[in-house]
Amino acid sequence: MPNDPPSLDMDVWEFRRLGHQLIEQMAQALAAEHQEPVMQPASGQEILDLVDEDLPRHTTPPEQVLAQCSDPLLQFGRRNGHPRFFGYVCGSAEPVAILADALATAFNQNLTAWRSSPAAVEIERLVLRWLDQMVGFGGDGHGMLVSGGSAANLQALTCAVYQAQERASLPTGARHQLTLYLSKEAHLSMIKAARLLGLAEEHIRLVDVDDQRRLRIEDLRHKVAADLDAGLVPAAVCASAGTSNTGTIDGLDEIAEVATEFGLWYHIDGAYGAPAAMVPEYRWMARAFARADSLSLDPHKWLYAPLDSGCVLYRDASESQRAFALDSEYIAVTQTEARESFAFFNHGAELSRRFRALKIWATVKTHGVDRLTQAIAHNIELRRHLDDRIAGHPRLELLGSELSISCFRYRPAATLDNDALNAINRRILETLVAEGRVLMSPTTLDGRYALRVCIVNFRTRAHDINLLIDEVVRLGTSFSANLPA
Residue 218: give its domain's CATH number: 3.40.640.10
In a domain, 433, yes or no: yes
- Work out the pLDDT band at 32, boundaries 50, 70, 90: confident
Which helix (H) or strand (E) segment is 388 a member of?
helix 357-391
The per-residue pLDDT for 284 is 96
> Do both 338 and 442 map to the same domain?
no
pLDDT above 80 for 329: no
In a domain, 286, yes or no: yes
**Cut 0.85: pTM above it:** yes
Give percent above pLDDT 90 in the chain.
76
> Do both 156 and 236 map to the same domain?
yes
The CATH number assigned to the domain holding 439 equals 3.90.1150.170
The per-residue pLDDT for 483 is 72
In a domain, 323, yes or no: yes
- Give the pLDDT mean for 167-179: 84
Query: Number of folded domains in the chain?
Result: 2
> Do both 139 and 284 map to the same domain?
yes
Please tell me the distance from the alpha carbon of residue 37 to that of residue 76, in angstroms, as a whole number. 10
- Give the pLDDT mean for 225-241: 96
Q: Of 148-152, 154-158, 169-173, 284-288, where does mean pLDDT reach its minimum? A: 169-173
DSSP 56: P
More confident residue, 79 or 380: 380
The per-residue pLDDT for 485 is 61
pLDDT above 70 for 336: no
Nearest to 101 by CA among 292, 313, 356: 356
**Could you tell me the sign of the dihedral formed by the alpha carbons of 50, 53, 55, 57, in that order?**
negative
- Work out the pLDDT band at 438, boundaries 50, 70, 90: very high
> Do both 402 and 332 map to the same domain?
no
> Do both 326 and 181 map to the same domain?
yes
- Work out the pLDDT band at 480, boundaries 50, 70, 90: confident
Please tell me the distance from the alpha carbon of residue 29 to that of residue 458, in angstroms, as a whole number. 17
Give percent above pLDDT 70 in the chain.
98
> Do both 304 and 434 map to the same domain?
no
> Do both 139 and 282 map to the same domain?
yes
CB-facing half-sphere around the CA of 364: CA atoms within 13 A: 21
pLDDT above 60 for 330: no
Please tell me the distance from the alpha carbon of residue 399 to that of residue 381, in angstroms, as a whole number. 18
In a domain, 453, yes or no: yes
The per-residue pLDDT for 331 is 63
The residues, any chain, with a CB within 8 Å of residue 332's CB and separated by 6 or more, are none
pLDDT above 70 for 338: no
In a domain, 103, yes or no: no
Each residue's pLDDT tens digit, 245-303: 999 999 999 999 999 999 999 999 999 999 999 999 999 999 999 999 999 999 999 99
User: What are the beta bridge partners of residue 295?
Assistant: 268, 313
Please tell me the distance from the alpha carbon of residue 265 to that of residue 360, in angstroms, as a whole number. 29
Q: Of 74-88, 143-157, 214-228, 467-481, where does mean pLDDT reach its minimum? A: 74-88
The per-residue pLDDT for 378 is 98
In a domain, 77, yes or no: no
- Asked which of 327, 354, 381 is the last residue of a domain, the reply is 354
> Do both 327 and 376 map to the same domain?
no
Angle at 21 between CA 17 and CA 22, to 5 degrees: 115
> Do both 231 and 283 map to the same domain?
yes
- Work out the pLDDT band at 9, boundaries 50, 70, 90: confident
Summary mean pLDDT of the chain: 92
pLDDT above 90 for 243: yes
> Do both 126 and 262 map to the same domain?
yes
- Asked which of 321, 354, 387 is the last residue of a domain, the reply is 354
- Asked which of 311, 333, 354 is the last residue of a domain, the reply is 354
> Do both 332 and 423 map to the same domain?
no
In a domain, 239, yes or no: yes
Which residues form the domain of 402?
367-479
pLDDT above 70 for 332: no
> Do both 381 and 248 map to the same domain?
no
- Work out the pLDDT band at 337, boundaries 50, 70, 90: confident
The per-residue pLDDT for 317 is 93
- Give the pLDDT mean for 334-342: 74
The per-residue pLDDT for 43 is 83
Residue 439 phi, psi (nearest 5): -125, 120
The residues, any chain, with a CB within 8 Å of residue 241's CB and separated by 6 or more, are 249, 250, 252, 268, 269, 270, 272, 273, 274, 276, 277, 285, 288, 289
